[in-house]
Amino acid sequence: MSRVALQPKFPGQVPILYFDLPQLEALASPIRSEVFWSFSWEEPRSAADIARALGKSAQTVHYHVNALIGVGLLLEVDRRKRGARFEKLYVQAAAKLFVRPTPPREQHVPITKGFKGLTRLMAREFEAMWAAIEADPSFQPVGLNRKIAIRIRPERVAELRRRVLELTDELMDSPSDEEGPHLHVYVCLTPTLAVSQDWIQRKSRARKRTTKQPRIDHNQQQ
């Protein structure tokens, strides 16, 4: 698979965008996150297109589109005539959109809230795929949903993360096939709840031991 660095297609777009705090706070709304990720960086779409896809009112989607424009995540790039009126067309502001590898603490909560919107969109896409198969069994599904639990050494965790990033970079940098369907690829790599909670408890116990003051025997002082 040949790789070419993605280049902006529209004025104002940038090759890579790392989310800042105002952008992450905008995406902390699950509905707004769904709206944003339903747009594309290379195929202009209208708010009405997104409203139909998500089953939301046009007014609701327009509200969130304006908020996304305000923080620099969507760009208006064109207009098209629909009946007696014109629709504005939008794209995402960058070809690649990333959360920073080690985001500062104030970004943790909005990142998590925005992730809820992504999972809602993923569920909608699976529901639509099954509906398409039921309507026409010849529809070729490409959905893949696999959850695994593994236990590996820290150095292998780093290797796994590197390989996942390499694969997603390769997919993003591949030339678009105009005849192929648009696909969403979701990747999530996290410790289990038990691992994170145990780590917090151990750190808390360690802090208590280091801050514990020695007891003073007042009888010996007299």
Q: What is the pLDDT along the chain (222 residues), one digit of tens a residue?
A: 444 456 788 999 999 999 999 999 999 999 999 999 999 999 999 999 999 999 999 999 999 999 999 999 999 999 998 888 899 999 999 998 999 989 999 999 999 999 988 899 899 999 999 999 999 988 876 778 888 899 999 899 999 999 998 998 888 888 777 777 888 888 888 899 999 999 999 988 888 887 765 555 555 555
Q: Is residue 166 a contact partner of residue 159, using CB atoms and an 8 Å limit?
A: no
pTM for the structure as a whole: 0.81
The residues spanned by each domain of the chain are 14-144
Q: What is the pLDDT of residue 212?
A: 64
The confidence score (pLDDT) of residue 3 equals 44
Name the region of 215 (left: φ>0; alpha: ψ -120 to 50; beta: rest).
beta
Q: CA torsion sign, 49 to 50 to 55 to 59?
A: negative
Q: What is the pLDDT of residue 5?
A: 58
Q: How many CA atoms within 13 Å lie on the side-chain side of 153? A: 2
- Per the document, the length of the chain is 222
State the fold for domain 14-144: Arc Repressor Mutant, subunit A (1.10.10)
- 69 HSE (CA, 13 A, CB side): 14
